[in-house]
Structure formats: structure tokens, C-alpha cells
Amino acid sequence: MNLKGKIALVTGATSGIGLGIAERLAAAGAQVVINGFGDVAGALAELGRHGTRVGHHPADMADPAQIAEMIAYVEREFGALDILVNNAGIQHVEAVEDFPVERWNAIIAINLSAVFHTTRLALPGMRRRGWGRILNIASTHGLVASAGKSAYVAAKHGVVGLTKSVALETATTPITCNAICPGWVLTPLVQQQIDARVAAGASPEQARHDLLAEKQPSLEFVTPAQLGELALFLCSEAAAQVRGAAWNMDGGWVAQ
């Protein structure tokens, strides 16, 4: 799969799954703009190894005005936006009656509303240029629920629904929209949940094992590199009729 000449934007790609997908797209020849906070220089250095042009935009995915600036930046500075990967996401675990309203609002804004904003802003250019791929990184929590994750589960189910609507609105065009639903991936977002178990008294090994054993029958983490390969496939012409899918890669999580 050769993505030479294609321009990709991956939100929340300074670590974890987003960085894994950005790397795979860059390795296939795409020019890649990443977004996100934290170790931007480190992420850009890793991506730069692939020899294609890379960039970063610091938009806060909770702010529609900054999202609009980011899409305009990519189209102006790189000339197009062909592959949009909506990946930025946050988590908060607490019972619904104790859930902080501010955390609920932030999760809905970053994990769900941002996908609406990037999509509505990127689609006109994709339609004009006659090609596009929109990949929404949802979760197994877009398909099934877990206790303590009301906002995340609501947002991810919303992402799966939004994916289907956009896929229908683009069904007769060369633009596809699909969701990827990962199970557990060992990233900073999941490390926080392992750390919480360690703080409650488990050893790090036990905490990792218990986290997997509760949900993921393979007892192995999915890797960002594996998700990068699935993302690349969904960008290919072989995937041109994959539309509105919510494709789980989850060690058997939702087969149960």
C-alpha cells in the first residue's frame, strides 16, 4: 500500500495508538500531521525517520475554534487533507452518581464532539478532491459497556453511531468512514488504570494480568503497530466498500 501524495491528520498522536497509526501511515509514504500534547518533539522525531514531511498542530480537541484552525492549517500548509484519523481521547473511571460534571463534559467534548467537528470541516475538501478516508478510533466500549465508565461508553457508542451516519452520507462517493474498536492496548491511558490497581495493593504484574483477565480472553494486549496495520488496510482500495464498520481488534473481548 503506497500512500505517497496523501496527507493524513491523526489527532492525539503524541503517544499510544495515535502515534502507532501515524507511524504506519508515514512508513507507507503519507505526509502526516499529528496533534496532541506532551512529548511532541519525541513523536515528531520518531515519525521523521520515515522520510516524509511531518507536522504538528497543538489544537485542544475540546475547543471547536481550535479544531477549525487545525483543519485550515493542514489544508493550507500541506495542500489537502485526505486521511482523517480521529484518535484523541481521555478516560475517567467513577460511578455515575459521583461522576464529576466537568469530567463528563470533557470526555464528551474530546472523545465525541471533536469527531463531529473534524469530520464536518474535513468533508468538503475530500468531496472536492474526490477521495477520502475517515477513521474513528472508538473502542470495545463503543460496542459494550463496563461499570464506572459512563461518559467514555456513551461517547464511544456515539462515535460508532456517528461513523454509520457519515458512512451513509458518503456512500456513493470514494470517501469511506469507519470505526476501529480496540480492546486493551498498553498505552499511558491504560497505564493509569493499572497504576490505580497497584495503588490499591496489587503488584504491577498482577494488576496487568487482572485487567486483561476481566475482559480480554487472549490475555495479551493489542499493540499500536497492529492497529496501524488495520488503519492502513482501511485506507487501501481493497477496503473501498468497507463502509460504516465498527471493526473490533480486541483479543476476543466482544465475542463473549
By CB under 6 A, residue 207 contacts ligand NAD: no
Size of the site for ligand NAD (CB under 6 A): 29
Grid cell listed for 45: 522525531
What b/e sequence results for 140-177 when a residue is b if at least 16 CB atoms lie within 10 Å of its CB, and e otherwise?
bbbbbeeeebbbbbbbbbbbbbbbbebbeebeeeebbb
Q: CA 52 to CA 63: how far, in whole Å?
A: 29
Q: CA 23 to CA 225: how far, in whole Å?
A: 8
By CB under 6 A, residue 81 contacts ligand NAD: no
The catalytic residues are 152
DSSP codes, 81-113 = --EEEE---------GGG--HHHHHHHIIIIII
Residues in Cβ contact with 128 at an 8 Å cutoff, skipping those fewer than 6 apart:
none
Q: CA 35 to CA 46: how far, in whole Å?
A: 14
Q: Interface mask (CB under 6 A) for ligand NAD, residues 167-206, using x and -?
A: ---------------x-xx-xxxx----------------
Q: Which is nearer to ligand NAD, 193 or 236 (CB)?
A: 193
Q: Nearest approach, Cβ of 112 to ligand NAD (angstroms)?
A: 10
By CB under 6 A, residue 42 contacts ligand NAD: no
Contact between 154 and 96 under an 8 Å Cβ cutoff? The reply is no
How many Cβ atoms are within 10 Å of 81's Cβ, its own excluded?
25
Q: Which is nearer to ligand NAD, 185 or 235 (CB)?
A: 185
Burial group, residue 18, by CB count within 10 angstroms (0-12, 13-18, 19+): buried
| Residues numbered 96-115 forming contacts with ligand NAD, rule: CB under 6 A | 110-111
Q: Which stretch binds ligand NAD (CB under 6 A): 32-40, 92-100, 170-178, 241-249?
A: 32-40
By CB under 6 A, residue 14 contacts ligand NAD: yes
Q: Which is nearer to ligand NAD, 37 or 233 (CB)?
A: 37
By CB under 6 A, residue 22 contacts ligand NAD: no
Q: CA 251 to CA 109: how far, in whole Å?
A: 29
By CB under 6 A, residue 60 contacts ligand NAD: yes
Q: CA 30 to CA 47: how far, in whole Å?
A: 11
| Residues numbered 132-161 forming contacts with ligand NAD, rule: CB under 6 A | 137, 139
Q: Which of 7, 16, 27, 151 binds ligand NAD (CB under 6 A)?
A: 16
Q: Which of 8, 17, 123, 134 binds ligand NAD (CB under 6 A)?
A: 17
Binding site for ligand NAD (CB under 6 A): 12-18, 35-38, 60-62, 87-90, 110-111, 137, 139, 182, 184-185, 187-190
